Amino acid sequence: MQYDIIFIVGEVFFDHPLSGIAILKRYLEKNGYTIGIIEMPKTEDDITQLGKPKLFFAISSGSIDSMVRNYTPLKKLRKLDKNLDYNEEVPNRAIIVYSNWVRKNFKDSLIVLGGVEATLRRFVHYDYWDNKLRKPILFDSRANILSYGYSEKQILEIANRIKNKQDLFGIFGTCIISNEISNDFKLMPTFDEVNNSKEKFCDMHNLISINENIAQKIDNRYVLQFKAPIYTTKDLDEYYALDFSRDVPKNLRGFQFSIVTHRGCIGECNFCSIKASLGNRIVSRSIDSILNEIKQITKHHFFKGNIDDLGGPSANMYGMDCNKCSNSCIDCKNLDRSNNQLLKLLRLARKINGVKNIFIRSGVRYDLVSDEYLKELAKYHIYDTLKIAPEHIDKNVLKLMNKDKGDLKKFIDRFNKLNTKKKLSFYFMVAHPGCNLQNSKELSRFIKKFENCEFVQVFTPTPLTTSTCMYYTSLDPKTKKKIYVPYNYSEKKEQKRIVMDNVK
Ligand code: SF4
């Protein structure tokens, strides 16, 4: 058979709502399209196995950038790391490689890019692995259009337009290359300008937003970003109610009965890519939609009574939807920090027949945890440890991470006063811009007092984040003040070693 659309994906495909590709596939099928999937092609022959699609190839590296997947923060090939169970094969710069294979074998086929790698490389970006600026990925891949962020609405509109032989101009949430621009686009500094000036690169970075039409001149053409479409509770309820088999690969068995309650994050941590890809607002599913999914799960032949996780990027941001203005929610007095909506959901979910436990394994944002939520969390929903990600303890480093909102010591006291047998586990980061050896020693002394320091990672400059802008420019992009950046690999390693020495 000839499929309407063929997805080429740099990760294992599984038909589960935790997989973005599975949601797109099921959603397109619901709308009458036939979908073929080629997962992790290793050679150019692999991408010809399903023939040519009637409409287009949709290419994605999956939920992680291929360079982050293949290299450690110190640029060591992950597959050479004997401590890692790493047997996946995805080429470096997977999207460009897959697109070139398609172009070579199906010259006139249309190519649509999506996923994290495409999203974060949609403008000029600093590439840590090349240690230089690269042009938007549409130029290197010669694809026809790029869909950024969530993509259900975009991909359906793209499919409909191609089917009806309409052009691809102006689709919300996409980027294209154009020879001209109209005056409803905000102009970023050009490729040449940002290549010649670190200050201009900061100016460019400060303009990145998903809420506006933005253009950037590259040589004699422009990359045009059309602002993102609005996703609502109703949309999410529709997507998560699609008919997934819920089968998962071996390594995800512990997540088979996980449920996504919401999308997005209001935290705006500078090292995180969510803001540049998905914006800074929460969209939650309705309580009914989540309860219905749990009821469906209880009928699954493998279900033994445990919901593996109920969460999102931060579990306790469920219900924090607000769109009254464009300011930063995390700093807003009007933000509803009660966790009441989440408590209501959890109380109803616990009563569902067949459910023995509902675990929260997604991390929680500790500065947004109300007393009532913390009590119920500890009593009913923590398997053994509650994950939090303070990332650091030094005020200056935290400020540069935009993570200086909470009081970690107070939170630990609040948790300990509950006298629960459960524990906290911590995630920390070293070698972030602004973080020196002294700061790491300070963090190390702090860690000595606690068990369960789950993870200490060295900062990786992924494309398009604010922290990566700091790394490339040595400047704070907002103030343009100089900041210390540990570039030297031996220092990065040393920072990690100092902290790890005190991990119990
Ligand atoms: S009012 Fe506050 S919580 Fe609501 S959108 Fe504005 S900043 Fe966010």
Instruction: Give pLDDT tens digits for 156-184.
Output: 999 999 999 999 999 999 999 999 999 99
Paired tokens of 156: 């359906």
Q: Is the CB of 181 under 6 A from ligand 1?
A: no
CB-based contacts of 28, cutoff 8 Å, min separation 6: 4, 5, 35, 155, 156, 159
The answer to whether the CB of 160 falls within 8 A of the CB of 290 is no
Q: Which residues of 232-266 are buried (b: 16+ CB within 10 A; e: fewer)?
A: eeebbbebbeeebebebeeebeeebbbbbbbbbbb
State mean pLDDT over 204-230: 97
Ligand 1 atom 7, closest CA:
329
Q: What is the C-alpha to C-alpha distance for residues 377 and 13, in angstroms, rounded to an integer?
A: 32
Nearest ligand 1 atom, CA 332: 2
Residue 500 CA, ligand 1 centroid: distance in Å: 39
Sign of CA dihedral 297, 283, 414, 427: positive
Instruction: Give bridge partners of residue 262 from the DSSP assignment.
Output: 284
| Token pair 């309580």 in the structure block, residue | 287
Q: Is the CB of 329 under 6 A from ligand 1?
A: yes
Min mean pLDDT across 2-11, 215-224, 337-346, 414-423 is at 414-423
Q: Is the pLDDT of residue 263 over 80?
A: yes
- Closest residue by Cα to atom 4, ligand 1, is 322
Q: pLDDT at position 87, please?
A: 61
Separation of alpha carbons 387 and 453, rounded Å = 10
Ligand 1 pocket, residue 337 CB under 6 Å: no
Contact 245, 15 (CB under 8 A): yes
Q: What is the pLDDT of residues 474-485, one digit of tens each?
A: 999 999 999 999
Mean pLDDT for 343-357 is 97
Chain segment 290-340, per-residue pLDDT in tens? 999 999 999 999 999 999 999 999 999 999 999 999 899 999 999 999 999
Residue indicated by tokens 């995800």: 252
For residue 390, the 8-state DSSP code is: E
Q: Is the pLDDT confidence value at 212 over 70?
A: yes
pLDDT classification of 254: cutoffs 50, 70, 90 = confident
Q: Which residues, 6 or more positions from 107, have their beta carbon under 8 angstroms from its beta carbon?
A: none
The residue that leads in pLDDT, 446 or 452, is: 446
Tell me, using a 6 A CB cutoff, whether residue 323 lines ligand 1. Answer: yes
Cα–Cα distance measured from residue 452 to residue 208, given in angstroms and rounded to the nearest whole number: 37
pTM listed for this prediction: 0.94
324 Cα–ligand 1 center, Å: 6
Q: Specify the pLDDT at position 253.
A: 85
What's the distance, CA 9 to chain centroid? 16
Element containing residue 94 per DSSP (H, E): helix 94-105
Side chain identity, residue 172: F
Ligand 1 atom with the shortest distance to the CA of 324: 5
374-401: average pLDDT: 94
Residues contacting 263, CB < 8 A, separation 6+: 150, 231, 236, 278, 282, 283, 312, 313
Instruction: Give distance in angstroms: CA of 20 to centre of ligand 1.
Output: 28
Helix (H), strand (E), coil (C) string for 431-463: CCCCCCHHHHHHHHHHHHCCCCEEEEEECCCCC
Ligand 1 centroid distance, CA of 280 (Å) = 10
Nearest residue (CA) to ligand 1, atom 6: 325
* Probe residue for ligand 1, chosen from 324, 326, 336, 337 as the CB with the greatest number of ligand atoms within 8 Å: 324
Indicate if the pLDDT at residue 83 is higher than 70: no
Nearest-CA residue for atom 8 of ligand 1: 329
Write out the two tokens for 69.
Answer: 């997947």
d(CA 40, CA 91): 9
Q: Residue 422 pLDDT > 90, yes or no?
A: no
What pLDDT, on a 0 to 100 scale, did the predictor assign at position 500?
Answer: 86
Task: Give residue 465's pLDDT band: very low, low, confident or very high (50, 70, 90).
Answer: very high
pLDDT at 94 over 70: yes
Q: Residue 325: CB within 6 Å of ligand 1?
A: yes
Residues in CB range of 320: below 8 A, 6 or more apart: 266, 282, 284, 329, 335, 336, 368
Tokens of 68: 């982050």
Q: Which amino acid is at 71?
A: Y
Tell whether ligand 1 has an atom less than 6 A from the beta carbon of residue 211: no
Q: Give the residue with greater pLDDT, 387 vs 144.
A: 144
pLDDT digits (tens, 9 = 90+) for 102-155: 999 999 999 999 999 999 999 999 999 999 999 999 999 999 999 999 999 999
Q: Around Cβ 83, how many Cβ atoms within 10 Å?
A: 6
How many of the other CB atoms lie within 10 Å of CB of 28? 21
Residue 335 Cβ inside 6 Å of ligand 1? The answer reads yes
Residue 193 reports pLDDT greater than 70: yes
Confidence of residue 73 (pLDDT cuts 50, 70, 90): very high
Judged against a pLDDT cut of 60, whether residue 27 lies above it is answered with yes
Whole-angstrom distance, CA of residue 3 vs CA of residue 15: 18
**Band (256; pLDDT cuts 50, 70, 90):** very high
Query: What's the confidence (pLDDT) of residue 384?
Result: 86
Q: Is 77 exposed, middle or buried, given 0-12, 13-18 or 19+ CB atoms closer than 10 A?
A: exposed
Residue with tokens 């086929």: 109
- For the record, the structure tokens of 191 come out as 């490729």
- pLDDT value at residue 423: 87
pLDDT the model gives residue 472:
98
